[in-house]
Amino acid sequence: MRYISGLPRPKAGKGPRVLAVLGSTGSIGRSVLEVVRLQPQRFRIAALAGGRNMELLAAQAAEFKPARLCAQDEQSAERLRRLLPRGVRPTVLVGSEGCGEAARSAEVDMVVSAQSGAAGLHGTYAAACSGKIIALANKESLVLAGRHIREACARSGASVLPVDSEHNAVFQCLAGSDGRAFPTEGRGYLRRLILTASGGPFFGRPKEETDKARPDQALKHPTWNMGAKVSIDSATLMNKGLELIEAHHLFGLPMADLEVVVHRESVVHSLAEFTDGSLLAQLGVPDMRIPISYCLGFPERLNSGAPALDLVALGSLHFSPPDRLAFPCLDLARSAGEKDGGYPVVLNAANEVAVDAFLAGGIPFGAIPRIVEHCLDAYGAGRTDACDAFSCAPDTIEAVPALDAAARVRARREVELFTC
């Protein structure tokens, strides 16, 4: 095992930790600000970047008074400026370049990367190149560019702390109670990692039924409260597949040493298995404020605001293998992670396009894995009908967006075939 980065260095001085929260209007970003509200003396918000909800971003700006805001496009930025209350006049940045500028800001200690999808890569990479502590909730950053982010961290001294509940659980299992025991180099006695999956809303249902599921059914996650895209990824198990690739890059383990089990209660968040047969697990209620507070306060543990887990009330825990026939996205992701190169980029791009089409009512639920598989097959065959970039390997960070864009062109053509 070789972790993706070193651990954060102790903060110089006694002042608050200064945060840039990228994706502050999303589910994770809102939970980050809830944790910040519980200990305002520990944190100062220097930058906030939002998605489509400019009303919420303006309200967050009025409350936390950051020096910088970032909107996804110029139209949203103009609307945001009109919504800001009198006396609140931060610099308003735009797009991925704006997120990168916010992440690189000299006053920022920690960047919370919580944007949805491939859009989060630019801010994560800027933070990695700038030596920041990265509280990473955007798994796509590592799916698309794990090797490049590892290399950037090595050059700059940046540190990555995982916010995803599964990877945060593994980190806690390996780090000990105060984080100081974490083995950044060497595998030690670790045999494998086991990530848990809720199974989503369609657990136990036959494929013939789930293939016809509607968006409103797929959005009803049984335990977690999440955004639309990640909720659909949970329903297809693509989310868990992406998390396998993320774990591979975070912990430096081969894909063969990473497993997934379904755990419907969602209180055992992941496990580490050691060579003597021991298992270490992290348990807690399904509340993202727990892993968020762990990262924000590291190596100290903070009040997350989440309730404690009542084991007696819980009563029992259940585990089962994932149904790979009903949910083929899991194996598609594992295969892409094993092949590496451009395959994870194509996997993620095709999935994002297919999920958007499903949410818009354009394709059935069962078409999502088929579109992803067709795009992966086309990439593997070297077909360049989308554009020449579709055949490239992302050997540099600059090549990743080009392949991502080409894969989206290909995926949209596949969507059209399902809608004709």
- Summarised one tens digit per residue, pLDDT across range 65-88 is 999 999 999 999 999 999 999 999
User: With left for phi above 0 and alpha for psi between -120 and 50, is residue 322 left, alpha or beta?
Assistant: beta
- As for how many domains the chain has, the answer is 3
Residues spanned by the domain of 72:
17-163
Dihedral sign computed on CA atoms, order 35, 41, 43, 49 = positive
Residue identified by tokens 């409260």 is: 225
CATH number at residue 390: 1.10.1740.10
pTM beyond 0.85, yes or no: yes
Residue-wise pLDDT for 141-191, tens only, equals 999 999 999 999 999 999 999 999 999 999 999 987 566 556 666 667 899
Residues 182 and 314 in one domain: yes
Nearest to 390 by CA among 414, 356, 418: 414
Residues 159 and 208 in one domain: no
Query: Per-residue pLDDT for 43 more than 90?
Result: yes
Residues 194 and 124 in one domain: no
What pLDDT is stored for residue 106 in this prediction? 96
Q: Are 314 and 267 in contact (CB under 8 A)?
A: yes
Query: Per-residue pLDDT for 384 more than 70?
Result: no
Among candidate residues 163, 185, 215, the one where a domain is terminated: 163
Residues 411 and 354 in one domain: yes
Residue 295 lies in a domain: no
CATH number at residue 124: 3.40.50.720
Among candidate residues 163, 186, 210, the one where a domain is terminated: 163
Residues 319 and 182 in one domain: yes
Residues 224 and 319 in one domain: yes
Cα torsion for 404, 406, 407, 409, to the nearest 10°?
130
Two tokens, residue 178:
């105060």
pLDDT band at 33 (very low <50, low <70, confident <90, very high): very high
Residues 181 and 76 in one domain: no
pLDDT band at 387 (very low <50, low <70, confident <90, very high): low
Residues 219 and 111 in one domain: no
258-262, strands of its sheet edge to edge = 258-262, 190-197, 268-274, 279-283
Amino acid in position 356: D
Q: Are 194 and 260 in contact (CB under 8 A)?
A: yes
